[in-house]
Structure 1
Amino acid sequence: MIFIVVKFKTKPEWAERWLEHVDAFTTATRAEQGNLWYEWSRSVDDPTEYVLVEGFRDEQAGADHVGSEHFATAMRHLPQALAATPKIISQNIDATGWSDMAELAVP
């Protein structure tokens, strides 16, 4: 699986409308056959920072995502709302999805 985390620093005037700005891209990505999840969160420390956690089945699914028309469209439209270049961690990991956290198992 490809596990990706991206931090997006938005311009202050875009912070409240960021999720609306990325809605079509989010919807299209979640519909991709190889997408496992595509989840946005907002920083509790910085209201202009959003964190995206993505999972793709394999390298081919990741390549299909980057090669999609909705990805190309997003790469043209997202920069206007950004205050800085996004920071990314992208790794191939030996997993197929989320696991339960044993240290906090709920009976």
Structure 2
Amino acid sequence: MDDERVVLYAEFTARSGEAEEVQRLLKAFTTAVRGEPGNLAFEPYRRVDDPDRFFVFEIYRDRAAFEAHLSADHGRPFNSALEPLIREDASQLSFLTPIPAAAKR
């Protein structure tokens, strides 16, 4: 198992009239995720130009911490409640890899 950090962002779009409920659910979920031992960052945002569009930046200590996040007790109820409120079938995940810093001169 890889011990490098897992960095990703999740995006989803609230259905018309559902953005405030999505935000309410996301606030509670944020508190739960930030309490996970392997979570290093969980930062939810709404787009300024499209407030129905949500963006969540996430960092986990390693692959094991991310897997623990996926199987956490609070994940399934959140996703079940979110699913009918968003346009997509589920959160759209994009995994990131860091660009190494240039050497100092």
Q: TM-score range by the shorter chain?
A: 0.7 to 0.9
2:25–2:78 CA contact under 8 A, matched in 1: no
5+ residue gaps, structure 2, are none
1:29–1:65 CA contact under 8 A, matched in 2: yes
Matched residues, number: 96
**TM score, norm. by length of structure 1:** 0.79
Q: Which residue of 2 aligns with 1:47?
A: 51
CA distance in 2, matches of 1:53, 1:21: 16
C-alpha distance 94-56 of structure 1, shift in aligned 2 (>3 A): farther
Q: What is the RMSD of the two structures over their aligned residues, measured on CA atoms?
A: 2.0
- Output one character per residue of 1:19-56: Cα deviation in whole Å (capped at 9) or x when no partner: 21222221110000000010011112211101000000
The sequence identity of aligned pairs, in percent, is 27
5+ residue gaps, structure 1, are 100-107
Q: Which residue of 1 aligns with 2:94?
A: 89
Bigger fraction of residues in helix = 1
**TM score, norm. by length of structure 2:** 0.80
CA distance in 1, matches of 2:26, 2:9: 16
